[in-house]
Amino acid sequence: MTEFHFDRFDWDTGNESKSLKKHGVSKETVEGLFRNSPHFAEDPRHSGQEHRILAIGVSSEGRWMVVAFTIRSKGGKRFLRPISARYMHAKEVKRYEKGDQNEA
């Protein structure tokens, strides 16, 4: 999985509170991650009702992070909807850098 094409981000009070307030990640940081060529991985453990994907990469500030998201279609457009976003713990970064990229 190398990239996703979408028209815009889909934000509302539900995903803003989980991504931003709970984990202290800004909207700009989440959106910026997608401009920094993150690695994408399937998230089968959390894909019960809809297909979820993980974006793993380095933020514009140089911090490793993971964003769980889904792609939704509305009115002929594709929206990337962040579900959760957080900075990675040091152990996760080490494991990821060693090559176990599906374990973030």
pLDDT tens for residues 38-57? 999 988 776 677 889 999 99
Q: What are phi and psi of 50, to 5 degrees?
A: -150, 155
Predicted structure pTM score? 0.83
104 within domain boundaries: no
Residue 37: strand, helix, or coil: coil
Domain residue limits at 29: 8-98
Of 80, 82, 72, nearest in space to 15 by CA = 82
14 within domain boundaries: yes
pLDDT in tens, the chain (104 residues): 556 789 999 998 888 877 677 888 999 999 999 999 899 998 877 667 788 999 999 998 999 999 999 999 999 999 999 998 999 999 989 988 887 655 55
2 within domain boundaries: no
3 within domain boundaries: no
3-class SS letters over 52-96: CEEEEEECCCCCEEEEEEEEEEECCEEEEEEEEEEECCHHHHHHH
Total domain count, the chain:
1
Of 75, 82, 76, 73, nearest in space to 34 by CA = 82
29 within domain boundaries: yes
